[in-house]
Structure 1
Amino acid sequence: MFEKAQGEKVTLPCTFELSEEDEGPLDIEWVLIPADNQKKEQIIIMYAVDRIYNHYYAAMTGRMQFTNLDPRSGDGSLDILNLKAADTGTYQCKVKKAPGVQSKKIQLTVLVKPARTKCSIEGSQEIGKDVTLKCLSQEGSPLLSYDWRRVSGTRELPAISMLNKNTGELLLKNASREHSGTYSCVASNRVGMDECSVELNVTPPVNTAGIIAGAIIGTLLGLSVLCFLIICCCKKHREKKYEKEVHHDIREDVPPPKSRSSTARSYIGSNRSSLGSMSPSNMEGYTKTPYSQVPSEDFERAPQNPTFAPSKYDIAHKIGDITVV
């Protein structure tokens, strides 16, 4: 059995001795026996008729070769370079030279070194609380073992600590200020190791009552400001609505100004109708007086008094002689 780390080189031994009775051609082949018995054996490399054939197994192309370039010397060992985790398995070396036949099985285990190990802290880092330091490798073949140590201070783990080497958890119960410092974790297996560290800072408990009171006060202040803004917006909206209604009422209630020209026209029309009823004989003896002015509004309103209202004759007399054509 062989155990190697990923990326390393391994030599699987296969030596033999020929007897005088072995007179047939030499035939050497390496096969990979699958873990599942239902699958067939896979030829990796072979030597036959003084020639090497190494193109049967694509997964190892370019990574395998006979240790001795001339296997006829009695050495049919196999070198595998840059090992991978998938190379783990059972390998068999078969040597044939009629009438002799021999074989040998070798178990190869490719282990992966721990890598990408991360440290973390779980729990509240307050005095009197339980704190758990965690360590985990992202890569690495089992069985991994974890070990914690204190880097700063006394370099010894607290007496109250509990370590689980299989899971990588370090529990510190009832933590105190003396437990503060830098802690390092080492993950290891049979082929390698990896390390990470974390800083633990144990502090006094947080004043939760003060935080809650501050949050409540802040919330109340925020609500007060919000209510004030809402009231201001409502007041502004009512003022705009009132101004709009007042402006609308003024435009509807104020009557249009009185037209003087229409009054004058009505007056002239009424006088013309009165004058039209007069005959030419009644017009004699009147002096022709030009009339170029429109009676004023006061003159128009004068006939409303029955005591001083002039007759049609008086109006004709004032106007003068008018010749009707």
Structure 2
Amino acid sequence: MEKASLFFPLVVLLIQCLPIVPVTVSTTTPKVEVHENSDAVLSCDFRTEKEQNPRIEWKKKGTDVSFVYYEGHFRGAFAGRARIKGATVTLQRVTQKDAGEYRCEITAPHDTITLGETNITLEVLVPPHTPSCEIPSSALTGSVVQLRCRDQQSIPPATYSWYKDDKPLTPSRMANATYHLNPITGILEFKTVARGDTGQYSCLASNKVGPPKMCEAKHMKIEDVNMAGVVAAVVVICLVIAICGFGGYYAHRNGYFSSESVCP
């Protein structure tokens, strides 16, 4: 009997010392990447200490935190195009507006720690669209010329390559190169454009999501400066200056600019 009385407090002490397992929440995919108009699975797994019927909520972070799933129903833009199994949510036909950070929250009122959560980032991938290209129709030799290419819709952002007469222009790292091509910004710059740079130019936008897209080719003509015209213009300007100077001298000598006035 005495042994039993000693054993019982030890059992109680051991029970009290056992580690308490609070509500725990986790995800197998903290970052989800899906193509536009496909389904996105946001996994959320949880385990509770005592609670048999925990409250499940999903929220989307943005300028303001908005509910995705609350009180057993999907809310807002997710109503009618999402489903839940356990705590894992599947969003159907996702668009770029659905991209962002989501939070799965599990509330277990009867547990020692009543709240657990996990975050998931959703990225919606968008294939390249036909880029907009700015290609001047003409330029003068020796001038600085920029050709611009941009696709603002592709995700991840597109990289760019330029073509002249259907042949690719390679990014040049040589110090004496006549042009510089930036595949990130899409800018093709000629430091001192020459007549040999005349041709049909087009730009190709690419990313890992879908097939690349190219803008319509445009012709750029490089022309020499008209030296005869420049010389003629200089001669005309010099003649005008000389005539004006002579006229001023003549008028001054004949008293047209005299400050004295004749009174009646």
TM-score of the superposed pair, with normalisation by structure 2: 0.56
Structure with a larger share of its residues in strand: 2
Structure 2 residue 153 is matched with structure 1 residue 139: yes
CA distance in structure 2 between the partners assigned to 1:28 and 1:190 by the alignment = 36
Which residue identity does 2:180 align to in structure 1? Answer: M
Structure 2 residue 52 is matched with structure 1 residue 53: no
Relative contact order higher in (CA < 8 Å, ≥ 6 apart): 2
Q: Pick the aligned partner of 1:33 from 61, 65, 71.
A: 61
Match of 2:67 in 1: 43
SS in structure 2 at match of 1:108: strand
Structure 2 residue 90 is matched with structure 1 residue 79: yes
CA offsets 1:183-228 (integer angstroms, 9 cap, x no match)? 3323345645543242344354375868xx9xxxxxxxxxxxxxxx
Q: Pick the aligned partner of 2:106 from 95, 100, 106.
A: 95
The alpha-carbon distance between structure 1 residues 187 and 155, as it changes in their structure 2 partners (threshold 3 A), is closer
Match of 2:246 in 1: none
Which residue identity does 1:31 align to in structure 2? Answer: K
Q: Pick the aligned partner of 1:152 from 148, 166, 181.
A: 166
Q: Which runs of 4+ in 1 moved over 6 A?
A: none
Structure 2 residue 131 is matched with structure 1 residue 117: yes
SS in structure 1 at match of 2:57: strand
Give runs of aligned pairs for residues 192-211 of structure 1, distance below 5 A.
193-205=212-224
The count of aligned residue pairs is 194
Q: Pick the aligned partner of 1:11 from 41, 44, 61.
A: 41
CA distance in structure 2 between the partners assigned to 1:191 and 1:153 by the alignment = 24
The alpha-carbon distance between structure 1 residues 86 and 94, as it changes in their structure 2 partners (threshold 3 A), is same
Determine if contact 2:36/2:124 at 8 Å carries over to the other structure: yes
The alpha-carbon distance between structure 1 residues 136 and 27, as it changes in their structure 2 partners (threshold 3 A), is same
Structure with a larger share of its residues in helix: 1
Post-superposition offset of 1:182: 3.5
Which stretches in structure 1 are left out of the alignment for 5+ residues?
214-325
CA distance in structure 1 between the partners assigned to 2:108 and 2:95 by the alignment = 33
Determine if contact 2:36/2:96 at 8 Å carries over to the other structure: yes
SS in structure 2 at match of 1:139: coil
Q: Pick the aligned partner of 2:205 from 187, 190, 207.
A: 187
Which stretches in structure 2 are left out of the alignment for 5+ residues?
1-30, 233-264
Determine if contact 2:39/2:94 at 8 Å carries over to the other structure: yes
Match of 2:119 in 1: 105
| Percentage of identical aligned residues | 28
Post-superposition offset of 1:108: 2.4
The alpha-carbon distance between structure 1 residues 176 and 42, as it changes in their structure 2 partners (threshold 3 A), is closer
SS in structure 1 at match of 2:151: strand
Match of 1:278 in 2: none
Give runs of aligned pairs for residues 281-292 of structure 1, distance below 5 A.
none
Which residue identity does 1:163 align to in structure 2? Answer: L
Post-superposition offset of 1:85: 2.7
SS in structure 2 at match of 1:202: strand
The alpha-carbon distance between structure 1 residues 154 and 34, as it changes in their structure 2 partners (threshold 3 A), is closer
